[in-house]
Amino acid sequence: MAKRGKAALTICSTAFKTLGRAQASALGRQDLPIAVMPHPFGLRKREEVREIAAKVVDDIAQLVSKSGAK
Amino acid sequence: MPAATFEALDDLDAINKLYRERRWSDGLPIVPPTPERVARMLQHTQRRGDEVIAVLAPGFGEATVERIAINAVMAGCEPAYLPVLIAATSAVAEPQFNIQGIEATTNPAAVWLVLNGPIVEKLGVNATYNCLGQGNWANATLGRAMRLILQNIGGALPGDMDRATQGQPAKYTFCCAENEAQSPWAPLHVERGFARDVSTVTVVGAEGTLNMNTHSKQANELLRVIAECMVHPASNEYCHAGEPWLVISPEHAEILQAGGLSKADIKARLWELTQMPASRLSAKEVLRAQASRGDEYGEIKPDTLLTIARTPNDIWFIVAGGPGTHSTYVPCFGNSRAVTREIL
């Protein structure tokens, strides 16, 4: 998406941050913003996930706009 | 682009130390891929060394013929094995195989190579005694070379882009042939649309192996016991409807055939017998199954009977091994479909 000029970011848990960075780099997008959530994510209850989402939504929106849709 | 070369002392210990430090090995000593050894390997293909066979996720490295040959040398392959690895590399890059998922997942999925056709005898690939174990050069080095290709070209280094929680021994090497001579049915490659005299490699995203030792001499009972072994709640098959595989021993195959069962009959029976109520899954796995298979089932309730695969034809098996009452269940990654390629 970033290569097509769309604002893009990746959201992953801490356990996948290395993978995300490496893959972004391999694809020539070292600057791809990656929002990292504490791992493990799958064990959290829906309410906890909603709480986390509410806390980070503004930061994520900022990251998206910084990634610069063209 | 030709692979880079570097000067090194003619000292095996020093070279292996270098490969260990640069993480170019799988943890075992390698055969130094000197230009001479790589050139000998390349004599076994008509393709140019710089031809790109595939781009391999998760690192999106270009698997050129030369790079495949380098990793084949490192693994200890005979030069004549190269065409198998070219075909296998092309196969794992097919989208339905999902190499991105298989390499980057926390799941222990390994790439299992299954060979069929005349090349089995030509290369001496083991399809009989201990065919999933040690002791055969082709089985050991072909499977190892596949792993090195995925790691060194595809970038799937453990702890970096290979996120496997624990992995499994088959990630070192996992390769065998079908024992076509002792199979009462059409071999795998014929079932998958190839002529019997064509040589093929099939790649499978395998979670592991489970030995099934049963002395049953009755086809229906044997199938029931095999099905019991295949049913397990912590399974990607039930969550995602994958492709479970079996390696049926020649003795078990004979019993099933004597019971009048065709391959299609066996698949249909196993598909029925392996149904599992959703209540046996954890609540989280039910949610995963709901996300993956909602289109099949609608709302998955505790009494919903989940099948191990979408259709009976998604269950696959080969006949392999020597004498004995042991067959093997090979549970699979789930989000992957096996791919078969002709070996040219």
ipTM metric: 0.76
Low-confidence ranges of chain A (pLDDT < 50): 70
What is the mean predicted confidence (pLDDT) over B188-209? 98
The Cα B127–Cα B247 span in angstroms is 11
| Three-state DSSP class for residue B201 | strand
A14-23, B147-156, B323-332: segment of lowest average pLDDT: A14-23
Quote the CA–CA distance of B234 and B281 in Å, as a whole number: 7
Instruction: Give residue B77's identity as a one-letter amino acid code.
Output: C
Structural domain spans, chain A: 2-66
Give the residue from B102, B153, B160, B161 with the most A CB atoms within 10 Å of its CB, the best one to mutate: B161
CB contact at 8 A, B91 and B194: no
Both tokens assigned to B303: 């009494």
Reading phi first (left if > 0) and then psi (alpha if -120 to 50, else beta), residue A28 is in left
**Euclidean distance between CA atoms B71 and A9, whole angstroms:** 35
Contact between B26 and B157 under an 8 Å Cβ cutoff? The reply is no
- Does pTM top 0.90 for this prediction? yes
Flag if A23 and B58 touch (Cβ within 8 Å): yes
Q: Which residue has the higher pLDDT, B291 or B6?
A: B291
Evaluate if residue B72 carries a pLDDT over 90. Answer: yes
Which positions ≥6 away from A46 have C-beta within 8 Å? none
CB-CB neighbors (< 8 A) of B61 in chain A: 26
pLDDT bracket for residue B6 (50, 70, 90): confident
pLDDT in tens, B171-180: 999 999 999 9
CA distance A32 to chain B (A): 15
Please state, in angstroms and rounded to a whole number, the distance separating the CA atoms of residues B8 and B293: 54
pLDDT of residue B19: 96
Check CB contact under 8 Å for B161 and A16: no
Burial class (CB in 10 A: 0-12, 13-18, 19+), B183: buried
Comparing C-alpha atoms, which of B23, B267, B257, B72 is closest to residue B175? B72
By C-alpha distance, the chain B residue nearest A24 is B59
pLDDT of residue B47: 98
How confident is the model over B16-66, as pLDDT tens digits?
A: 999 999 999 999 999 999 999 999 999 999 999 999 999 999 999 999 999
Which H helix or E strand runs over B218?
none
Query: Which tokens sit at A48?
Result: 């906890």
H-only helix segments in chain B: 12-21, 35-42, 65-75, 82-92, 99-104, 119-123, 137-148, 188-191, 219-230, 236-240, 250-258, 263-273, 283-297
Count of CA atoms in the C-beta half-sphere (13 A) of B11: 6
